[in-house]
Every structure is written in C-alpha cells, then in structure tokens.
Chain A
C-alpha cells in the first residue's frame, strides 16, 4: 500500500517556486529519505504533507487522505519531529507526553501504558518528572521522537532529526529509528543533508531547486557514479587536469585542491596512471563513492551550506519564515 502519494505538487511563494512539480510515493513500512541542500524544498514538502502549509497546485495523499481536504484525519495519521524543538520546556517530560496524548484523543488507560513504552525506547524513564528545560539537546530530541510515536502514527516525519547533535547521539537516534520500524511497522519519512544518514534509507529522493533529480535506493544511486573515485593533486593542477582529458580521455573534474576522476577499477588504474605520468602526481587517493558524489554528479555541486548562492539563501530564508501557518 502507498502510504504517501504526491502528484504534480507545486508550492509557490509569490512568484518564487519552492517546490516545482514533484511526484513520488512511499510504501508502508519504508524508510524514505529526502536529501538535498538547505532550501531545496525538503521542509516545504514536509510541511505540505503535514498540513502546516497549503499547496499551490497538485495533489498529496497521506494514509489515503487528501492533505487539503481532510487535514484532521491526516494529522491523526502522522507524527512529527521538527528541526527545532516543539516541546514545552516549562513542563515536565511526562506532562509534554500526556498533553500530546490528550490532543490526539488517546484514552488515559491506553496512554499510561504507551508512555512507559516510548520512554523505554528512548531511555528517558528516570527523567519523566523533570522539567524539559534542564534536558540536553539529545535528550530533548529523544523525548520529541517518543512524543511523535505516542499516538502510533502511520508515518513519522523526521525533519533533520539529528542536526546539531554529536555523533554518538546521532547513531543512538538511528538505532531508535530502526528499532521502531521493526517493532511498530511505522513508515519513516526523513529529510537530511547528511550523506551518511541518507544511507540508512530504503529509498532516497535527491531534491535540488525544488525538483526531484533522482529517486532510488542508495546502492542504485551510487551506481550512477561509474566506479571508484580517484582524487589526485600535482604541482600544477590545471596541467594535470588537461593531460588527464587530452592524453587519457578521462572525464576529469577540477575540485578544491586537486583533480578527481571516476574509474571502474581504481586499484589497477592508479599504478598505470602513475607509471604514465612520472613526476607529475604529488598526491593520490582512492575511495568508494558516497551519496555526496552522486549529488555532485547530478547537480554539479556539493551539499554544503557555503555553496548556496543568493537565490538559494533566499529560498532557505523563505522556508524558514513560513515555518508556521
């Protein structure tokens, strides 16, 4: 069953198009990722799917409900964990959870049991009566995930779930997410601009400038990069670049501090190259492709905030300003 279906979705802010005619669907029980730089349209899409924003044109269905026409049914079917905290810091962890349960119409008998369950999953049982303002960033995020699960949503949206958290906490949160999927069968829809995180997904949509530029499994996406990535440098990178193209017919690419080529078999390619270019190469490295390489290949850019141009910064800002509807 398709738990999310999006057809020709468009979202415009005045004459600026944040989401440009995208189509995709998500199966039940899937971990689906949206990968792209800030301002690519990830958060806007999530906000439309979670009824926080209205769409300009197109159709979006969640759990079979039209997000425009049946917002309350959609809201009952989803759990949300936003980039920034939406907990009430002046209430205790338990009060935050109980209020959530009440807002979602869960009877007391049921929520008391579930409260224990979700708190165990995120290991916050012993902090249940503590004010949230005393929690660390990681604890708040865990509590938010617990709260998002309390009403047994069909889909849980995680908007940059681990941004600003240390590595250890990040991997713990991923453990929780995988556990949830196993035990609760919940569909997980997440956005990220961390490549390594996106590899946890069953399928990934790469989104750039409001469009989906690729949608596939992480393995299939990585196949788009034809083989291994060899990065090298010389005293004159420009000369090296030209020689690689002219003498070897390689599709070389200039990168920061060097030149990069893709090759089918890196291990045999490197000795050959070095023997044919004596005294040219000062540095060489070989690595397997990551999703960052895929993104680079598809969009010609790396996913890094500093690479945003003016238009994209504006896009990011617009997305931020329209956080609430």
Chain B
C-alpha cells in the first residue's frame, strides 16, 4: 500500500511539473517537427531512396524514427531529472520517507513514460498530414508499443542517473550514449545496405527494434512494407519487452544503492 502511494506521488509530481514548464512543452514538440521538416525535406530531395514504391517518400520512412527520437530524448531527460533532485535536495526528502526505494524508481519510470507518451501522441496527430493512414486500432497498438519503449528508456535513464553525481556529466552521456543510440537506430537511414560493422552495432542498439516496431504498424499491408521494415513485429516486441524488464530491474537495483 505504501509502495503504491510512493509510485503515485512520484508519478504525479512529474506530471504536475511537466505541465508547469511551458518552454519544455514547446521545445519537445518543436524539436521533432524541426527535424522532420528541415532534415526530412532536405534529405528527401537529395537521397530519393530508389527502393520505395510510388506514393512513399523519405519523410514517411523518417517519421517513425523521429517519434522514437523524441521518446528517447524525453524519457532519458525525465529520468535524469533525478540528478537535479539530488542537487536541489528534494531527493533526500524522498529517500527518508517510509516508502520502499523500488517504488520511487518505478514511479519515476512511469512518470517519464507518461510524458513521453503525451509527446508521442501529439506527434501522431501529424501522421495524416504526411500521408500516413492511422486507424483507431493502429493507434491503440502504437500506444502500447510506445509505452513499452518509453518505459524501457526511462528505466535506462534511471540507471544512468543513479550513477551520476552532478549534471555536468550529462553532456557526455548525451554525446556518447544517447546520440549514438539515435543515429544507429535506423531512424534516419535503413539497416539494409550499411557496412557490416555498422549493421552489427545497429542490431545491438535496442532502439532499432522500437523504430522497427512502429514502422511495422504504420506500413503493415502497404506496398512499402518490405522496404521499410527489417524485423517481424514479434521479434521487435520481444526485444523491447525484454529490454523493459531488464532495465527496470537494473534501475530499481541501482537506485537502491544510489548515493
């Protein structure tokens, strides 16, 4: 019972704070739109992927990747706010409260996931505008997948945050972990046709399966399916599911021993 209260309080606090930070909301919607319009349009006009059937272009390919990108950034950033809480002292209030530590970690993971889901939902609204059909059933499937991805990624962020003393290390994490995860996820270029060493790295990147899962839903039954999707949905979901379980266990464990 105490544990559920703990999860709820940590979650609720994240949500309240999120809706109070207007610049953050604008930033997290604006950034993916910028990627999509500027980078997407620019790359689409120079690269023109030959294997895409008529009616599909590079933006269609990139769009699921951009959704994943924003989920990645938002999830990790939400989790890393633990480091702020440590610097500003609030973490101590939580650590001396009579709630188990794992409930704090779980509350944080759910809070980050909820915020990522809100952002992803806003991005899904533009799907029809770039020519992708979105049925109600597909939307439900996407939500479930996005929840799994963001939950796993927030947990991943908590593992990092438990080991970070100050916010100064965040830039390093961003440059050497988060950005490579995004670049290698197949969000902006496909896994097919890259050099062997890179394909290995891309297959090791857990986010690859998240991007692929979303493409699986968007392009199911379309002529572009073969060229857009690499793995089967079952494969993708297995990897994301395992990743979620492993990361949340590691996150609660490392949060327990966090300083």
Asked if B5 contacts A105 (CB within 8 A), the reply is yes
Interface residue total, chain B, C-beta cutoff 8 A: 29
Contacts A86-B89, A86-B90, A324-B92 given; does A76 touch B259 at CB 8 Å? no
Would you call A51 an interface residue if the criterion is a C-beta within 8 Å of the partner chain's C-beta atoms?
Answer: yes
Stretch at the interface among B42-50, B67-75, B96-104, B153-161: B96-104
Asked if B96 contacts A52 (CB within 8 A), the reply is yes
Q: Which residues of A contact B20 (CB under 8 A)?
A: 90
Contacts A91-B17, A325-B259 given; does A72 touch B92 at CB 8 Å? no
Q: Which residues of A contact B99 (CB under 8 A)?
A: 72, 103
Would you call A219 an interface residue if the criterion is a C-beta within 8 Å of the partner chain's C-beta atoms?
Answer: no
A91-B93 Cα distance, complex, nearest whole Å: 14
What is the CB-to-nearest-CB distance from A200 to chain B, in angstroms, rounded to a whole number?
A: 24
A85-B8 Cα distance, complex, nearest whole Å: 23
Would you call A236 an interface residue if the criterion is a C-beta within 8 Å of the partner chain's C-beta atoms?
Answer: no
Please encode chain A, from 28 to 47, with 1 for each CB lying within 8 Å of some chain B CB and 0 for all others: 00000000000000000000
Closest to A92 in B: B16
Would you call B52 an interface residue if the criterion is a C-beta within 8 Å of the partner chain's C-beta atoms?
Answer: no
Please encode chain B, from 10 to 36, with 1 for each CB lying within 8 Å of some chain A CB and 0 for all others: 001100110011000000000000000
Q: Is the interface of B mostly helix, strand, loop or mixed?
A: helix
A80-B97 Cα distance, complex, nearest whole Å: 10
Contacts A105-B1, A105-B2 given; does A86 touch B97 at CB 8 Å? no
Contacts A85-B89, A87-B90, A90-B17 given; does A104 touch B97 at CB 8 Å? yes
Asked if A75 contacts B9 (CB within 8 A), the reply is no
Interface residue total, chain A, C-beta cutoff 8 A: 29
Closest to B258 in A: A324
Would you call A82 an interface residue if the criterion is a C-beta within 8 Å of the partner chain's C-beta atoms?
Answer: yes
Q: Select B89's contact among A82, A91, A103, A322, beta carbons within 8 Å.
A: A82
Q: Which residues of A contact B9 (CB under 8 A)?
A: 99, 102-103
Q: Which residues of B contact A104 (CB under 8 A)?
A: 97-98
Task: Pick the most buried of A52, A86, A89, A103: most chain B CB atoms within 10 A of its CB.
Answer: A103
A88-B2 Cα distance, complex, nearest whole Å: 21
Contacts A86-B89, A90-B17 given; does A324 touch B95 at CB 8 Å? yes
A105-B4 Cα distance, complex, nearest whole Å: 10
Interface residues of B in 79-137 (CB under 8 A from A): 85-86, 88-100
A324-B92 Cα distance, complex, nearest whole Å: 7
Interface residues of A in 72-109 (CB under 8 A from B): 72-73, 75-76, 78, 80, 82, 84-91, 95, 99-100, 102-105
> What are 5 A-to-B residue pairs whose CB atoms are below 8 Å?
A52-B92, A52-B95, A85-B89, A100-B93, A103-B5
Binding site for A on B (CB under 8 A): 1-2, 5-6, 8-9, 12-13, 16-17, 20-21, 85-86, 88-100, 258-259
Binding site for B on A (CB under 8 A): 50-52, 72-73, 75-76, 78, 80, 82, 84-91, 95, 99-100, 102-105, 322-325
Q: A72-B2, A75-B98 are in contact. List 16 more A-B contacts (CB 8 A).
A: A52-B96, A72-B99, A75-B97, A85-B88, A87-B89, A90-B20, A91-B16, A99-B9, A102-B8, A102-B9, A103-B94, A103-B97, A103-B99, A104-B98, A105-B5, A324-B91
